[in-house]
Structure 1
Amino acid sequence: MPSYRAVLQITGLRPGQPPERVMDAAREALGSLHHVEAHQIDVVRGVPQITLRFLVEAENDEAEVAAARRAALVLQDAVEDVATTGRLQVLRRRRGAWIPV
């Protein structure tokens, strides 16, 4: 099964939302669609970002990329309920490297 990453910048928390709710919302949303292999939070150039690695059912490249993009948008929508977000990236694992799709 093809492996993908969704990387989402977090630019702020909504009032009354605890920081841990960001990752919880992301994992719940993405996990409802695909198997989530790993998740982490990093600070890149002073901006927090969450990264979730997930698997997409094997079909053809076009269908797999479309499914991964839809899943990333569902993840972003869920996180927007608890935080404000910035840039969303979707990457696919190919020959040992993560390639933007």
Structure 2
Amino acid sequence: MPSFQTRLKITGLRPGNPPEAVMAAGVEALETRHHVESNQLNIAAGVPQLNLRFLVEATEYSGENSQARLSASMMRDAVERVAVTGSLQVLRRNRGRWAPI
């Protein structure tokens, strides 16, 4: 199964939401479609970044990438309910390296 990763910048919390709601929203959204392998919050250039790694059912290369992009978009929509987000990257694991799709 192909492995993908999202990197979503978090620029603020929406009123009334605790910080842990950000990760919970992202993981819950991805788990509706895929197995989430790992999740973590990193700081990149002083900005929190939500990193979620997930598996996509193996089909054909472009279809797998399309599924990953759609799922990442759905995840971002879910996170937007509790936080203000910035840029979103979707990467695919290829020969031991992460490459943007």
TM-score in terms of structure 2 length: 0.99
Mapped to 2, the partners of 1:42 and 1:62 lie a distance apart of: 29
Give ranges in structure 1 of 5+ residues lacking alignment: none
Task: Tell me how many residue pairs correspond in the alignment.
Answer: 101
Alignment gaps of 5+ in structure 2: none
Q: Which amino acid aligns with 1:70?
A: L
Q: How does 1:46-61 map to 2 (within 5 A)?
A: 46-61=46-61
Residue identity matched to 1:99: A
Look up the equivalent residue of 1:55 and give its one-letter code. L
RMSD: 0.3
Q: AA paired with 2:72?
A: A
User: Could you say which residue in structure 1 is the equivalent of 2:30?
Assistant: 30
Residue identity over aligned pairs, in percent, reads 57
Is 1:62 the counterpart of 2:51? The answer is: no
Superimposed CA distance per residue, residues 29-70 of structure 1 (whole angstroms, 9 cap, x where no aligned partner):
001110000000001111000000000000011100000000
